A and B are shown apart, each in its own frame.
Chain A
Amino acid sequence: GEDVEQSLFLSVREGDSSVINCTYTDSSSTYLYWYKQEPGAGLQLLTYIFSNMDMKQDQRLTVLLNKKDKHLSLRIADTQTGDSAIYFCAERVRAGKSTFGDGTTLTVKP
């Protein structure tokens, strides 16, 4: 079955880069997503990558995908205090249900 795992906490200083890691197990063709959740709010889609891609860059965000190891990472360049939130990775096989990781709490210290 599908399973998505993330490290639970990450703390960085403002201006540094943050790297959040995720592993997944489903080997089907799939999309992988990164969501941001601020306290008391819903999920905001940050970016996504298809499982046949290696990398995707979108402004300060870089997604790297290692298909062999089923490892996904999200790098946030020049991290700001406003980036403090919980980040979820998720996988979805076509129009089926999404499976979410447990979330990584990112704390950005000034």
Chain B
Amino acid sequence: GAVVSQHPSWVICKSGTSVKIECRSLDFQATTMFWYRQFPKQSLMLMATSNEGSKATYEQGVEKDKFLINHASLTLSTLTVTSAHPEDSSFYICSADPQDLLPTYEQYFGPGTRLTVT
């Protein structure tokens, strides 16, 4: 149980186009999902917290108009990178909190999406 999927697993797009990444909780409902960005050989940087049915909360320095997050259902959150540029190339990882959050506050992570902008 507690599986989180991401789609696509990797994507290559041209500069100036938009890319949508999906994060799904497959066997549980997630009230909160988190989006992280990871550069090669670096740590995870939290981009935003996504709550079902409300606007996402973005971390300082993250452009909300560039990284659009939609958490329209309890099992799906999407991250859209708009007008992508080569510097947006990165590994994007989502995680999800189940509705019945365990006492250990364990998050479930997706396998990540590798975005390359040419």
Could you list which residues of chain A lie within 8 angstroms of chain B, going by C-beta atoms?
31, 33, 35, 40-45, 48, 50, 88, 92, 94-95, 97-98, 100-103, 105
B109: contacting residue among A42, A50, A97, A103, CB under 8 A: A42
User: Which parts of B69-88 form the interface with A (CB within 8 Å)?
Assistant: none
Q: Does B54 contact A (CB under 8 A)?
A: no
Q: Does B64 contact A (CB under 8 A)?
A: no
Distance in angstroms from A57 CB to nearest chain B CB is 16
Cβ A92 vs Cβ B105 within 8 A: yes
CB-CB under 8 A for A41 and B111, given A88-B44, A95-B32, A95-B97: yes
Rounded to whole angstroms, the CA-CA distance of A31 and B106 in the bound complex is: 9
Rounded to whole angstroms, the CA-CA distance of A88 and B104 in the bound complex is: 17
User: Which parts of B8-47 form the interface with A (CB within 8 Å)?
Assistant: 32, 34, 41-44, 46
Cβ B44 vs Cβ A100 within 8 A: yes
What are 26 A-B residue pairs whose CB atoms fall within 8 Å in the complex?
A: A31-B104, A31-B105, A35-B109, A40-B112, A40-B114, A41-B111, A42-B6, A42-B109, A42-B112, A43-B44, A43-B95, A43-B109, A44-B109, A45-B109, A48-B104, A48-B106, A88-B43, A88-B44, A92-B105, A94-B105, A95-B32, A95-B101, A97-B49, A102-B43, A103-B41, A103-B43
Rounded to whole angstroms, the CA-CA distance of A7 and B104 in the bound complex is: 25
Distance in angstroms from B76 CB to nearest chain A CB is 17
Rounded to whole angstroms, the CA-CA distance of A94 and B105 in the bound complex is: 6
User: Which of chain B's residues have a CB closer than 8 A to the CB of A45?
Assistant: 106, 109
B105: contacting residue among A42, A88, A95, CB under 8 A: A95
Secondary structure class of chain A's binding surface, majority of residues:
strand
Closest to B94 in A: A42
User: Which of chain A's residues have a CB closer than 8 A to the CB of B95?
Assistant: 43, 98
User: Which of chain B's residues have a CB closer than 8 A to the CB of A95?
Assistant: 32, 97, 101, 105
Rounded to whole angstroms, the CA-CA distance of A33 and B44 in the bound complex is: 14
